[in-house]
Amino acid sequence: MINESYIYGIHPVMEAIKEHKEIDKVLIQSDLRNPHLTELRKLLKEYKISSQNIPLQRLNHISKKNHQGVMAYLSPVEFQPFEEVLSKAYESGESPLFLLLDRISDVGNFGAICRTAECTGVHGVIVPVKGSAQVNAESVKRSSGAILKTNLSRERDLAAVAQTLQDSGLQIIACSEKTENYIYDVDFTKPTAIVMGSEEDGINSHIMRLADKVVKIPMQGSIESLNVSVSAGVILYEAIRQKRNAKAI
């Protein structure tokens, strides 16, 4: 059966996946015993859909329907292959600007970042299958609707994505306070992918090793870092400042 926000039942969920419905996350009962569970997990992997094992009590709290131990949250957006977004950016004659969000799990931060990305002309926002904030009605609200206008991609391996972007001519700029380089040391008029990490764990080490440069925002107060959504805004507006100045020359 289909609800405005989720699908429940193992067979309806599998059929929805096969029909290419935009699914944000699948919840599976932790101790579920179902002969079709292996098939479901294969589909989740094939279609790059995040899943989470949770107790039966939590599933029952979400819905009293006959969910059969499986529920899927529908996504309000259509995810885009980042390769297609990149090709369109190059074809338009623009210098591509991408944003990779490595495990930004807070819905408020995610929504705010997407809003800023839309306002600054970011061509694509890429998030991982695992560990990212849900793309749902709440995140759309937090972004003031900007998520619906954002080219959003969801990938299993952000390090592999960063490598592909790098091979396609983009510089990988990782943001971390653990560096001596500042955001003003980067030429953002070049094709660029900016990587922002979670406030708890930072950026994945595999991505950090790929980075062409690691930069930080200068700080003068006693607090060592900014909220990640604020940091993203500062960096993206430095990028847009440089692009505007380059056009004026």
Spatial separation of the C-alpha atoms in residues 177 and 10, rounded to whole Å: 45
* Mean pLDDT, residues 18-47 taken together: 89
* Mean pLDDT, residues 12-32 taken together: 88
Same domain as 152, residue 236: yes
Within-domain flag for 1: no
Structural domain span for residue 143: 82-248
Q: Let me know: does 98 contact 82? Beta carbons within 8 Å.
A: yes
Q: Let me know: does 101 contact 196? Beta carbons within 8 Å.
A: yes
Within-domain flag for 175: yes
Same domain as 205, residue 164: yes
Would you say residue 57 has pLDDT above 60? yes
Buried b (16+ CB within 10 A) or exposed e, 118-136: bebebbbbbbbbebbbebb
Same domain as 187, residue 110: yes
- Percent of the chain's residues with pLDDT above 70: 98
**What is the reported pLDDT for 249?**
64
**What is the reported pLDDT for 248?**
73
pTM over 0.75: yes
Spatial separation of the C-alpha atoms in residues 60 and 66, rounded to whole Å: 9
Determine which helix (DSSP H) or strand (DSSP E) holds 128, and give its type and residue range. strand 124-128
* Mean pLDDT, residues 87-102 taken together: 95
CATH number of the domain to which 87 belongs: 3.40.1280.10
Selection from 39, 241, 207, 45 nearest residue 126 by Cα: 207
**What is the reported pLDDT for 225?**
76
- Of 74, 105, 132, the one marking the end of a domain is 74
Same domain as 89, residue 50: no
* Mean pLDDT, residues 59-83 taken together: 86
* Mean pLDDT, residues 109-138 taken together: 91
Residue 6's SS3 state is: strand
**What is the reported pLDDT for 2?**
41
Same domain as 99, residue 66: no
In 165-227, where do the E strands start and end? 171-175, 192-197, 213-215
Angle (CA) 182 174 85, round 5°: 125
Same domain as 90, residue 70: no
Say which residue, 22 or 204, is predicted with more confidence.
204
**How many beta carbons lie within 10 A of that of residue 88, not counting itself?**
15
Per-chain mean pLDDT for the chain: 90
Same domain as 220, residue 121: yes
CATH number of the domain to which 19 belongs: 3.30.1330.30
Give me the number of domains the chain comprises. Answer: 2
Same domain as 95, residue 216: yes
pLDDT digits (tens, 9 = 90+) for 37-56: 999 999 998 888 888 899 98
pLDDT digits (tens, 9 = 90+) for 176-235: 988 999 999 999 999 999 999 987 888 999 999 999 999 999 988 777 778 899 999 999
Selection from 95, 101, 98 nearest residue 83 by Cα: 98
- Of 32, 53, 74, the one marking the end of a domain is 74
**How many beta carbons lie within 10 A of that of residue 208, not counting itself?**
19
- Of 15, 50, 74, the one marking the end of a domain is 74
Within-domain flag for 181: yes
Same domain as 219, residue 107: yes
Would you say residue 3 has pLDDT above 50? no
Q: Let me know: does 109 contact 133? Beta carbons within 8 Å.
A: yes
* Mean pLDDT, residues 130-137 taken together: 83
* Mean pLDDT, residues 101-124 taken together: 93
* Mean pLDDT, residues 1-27 taken together: 80
Spatial separation of the C-alpha atoms in residues 87 and 151, rounded to whole Å: 13
Strands 70-74 and 23-29 come out as: antiparallel
**How many beta carbons lie within 10 A of that of residue 234, not counting itself?**
15
Selection from 75, 76, 58, 72 nearest residue 12 by Cα: 72
Within-domain flag for 179: yes
* Mean pLDDT, residues 147-157 taken together: 91
* Mean pLDDT, residues 149-165 taken together: 94
**What is the reported pLDDT for 165?**
97
Same domain as 100, residue 117: yes
Amino acid at 195: V
Spatial separation of the C-alpha atoms in residues 89 and 92, rounded to whole Å: 5
Same domain as 206, residue 130: yes
- Percent of the chain's residues with pLDDT above 90: 56
